[in-house]
Structure 1
Amino acid sequence: MVDILVLYCSQDGSVHKLAQQIARGVNSVTGAEAKLRTVPNNKPKNNLFAPEIKLSEIEECDGLALGSPTHFGNMSGAMKSFIDELTPLWFKGSLETKVGTVFTSSHSLHGGNEATLLSMQIPMQHLGMLIMGVPYSVKELNTTKDGGTPYGASHVGDQAVTPVEEKIAYAQGKRLAELTIKLRS
């Protein structure tokens, strides 16, 4: 069984909804199990979120999906703060050759989703992770008028996550599990 960590920061619930869909995609693959966690200092507007991450869970996971709201074209401060705490794992090479992927949400169409996704990929590369995106074989990526990019699932707007955005996140989670299993076998 491969252990896929879906780690996120969410304030209004959109990133949380994407995280749930990624976890559903992971869990749809035989031999993979998703674990939902939030970063420390996440300040959600409600209490519907996952337990807080322990550093040991990052080290022990086989794959990682990282999600954050977009704040001025970058990840949230809480997510960046948590990533900065991964230096001991970087020294040990704990995340090298693990598959990583990213997802985000912003309140506006030009809120910086793609910049945020890329900003979260950079530390993953420094940690030695293998970065995975969403391929255009996911048909919703070709037709979306909502969120969704080849860099990772995304949500746009202050309305609920759309069915198209959910399908892209689900496909991303499924692909993460499949690639992690292939890499570990």
Structure 2
Amino acid sequence: MSDRCPWCGDDPLYVAYHDDEWGVPEFDGRALWEKLVLDGFQAGLSWITILRKREGFRSRFEGFDPERIARWGEAEIAAALADAGIVRHRGKIEATIGNARAFLDMGGAAAFSGFVWQSVEGRPRVNRFARMDEIPAETAESRALSKALKARGFRFVGPTVVYAWMQACGLVDDHLTSCPRHSEFGRD
């Protein structure tokens, strides 16, 4: 893909992520939750760091099973803090446990997906950015969704994290207009 978005550079893992995952609409609530957790861990780091550790996260967080993670206690937190295969940050690990509980309190996967997708009226919003410097770090929609998630008990879901997550999960299409992936799934 010769005109792909330049943010992924030429790292094969990043290129594959851009070409196969980023911006593809995700409707599975559990997959949405996993990606939200990963985006929370990314805060302050580069996304490629998280991509390189994604399988480690999946292993440590029991396949991102919210029901199992919601029951974690100090022993599981200590094991996670000792695991070099993930980002070892107590606050983010504890937030993941709390986010699992919030996810379950919302009613699980279907309810979470419906809640998230209502923020964009059920269909991906396609933006028309020609240059990387035009893409915002957050939007009114990400601020509103961040606030709504926080009101339901979620943490590490600030508007910038939420916007990156919305991009990753295809709620918004921020592929540059020159990218072959632009406007594959949504509406203008």
**Fold match by TM threshold 0.5:** no
TM-score w.r.t. the length of structure 1 is: 0.28
More helix by share: 2
Looking at both structures, which has the greater relative contact order when contacts are Cα pairs under 8 Å and sequence separation is at least 6?
2
Larger Rg: 2
TM-score w.r.t. the length of structure 2 is: 0.28
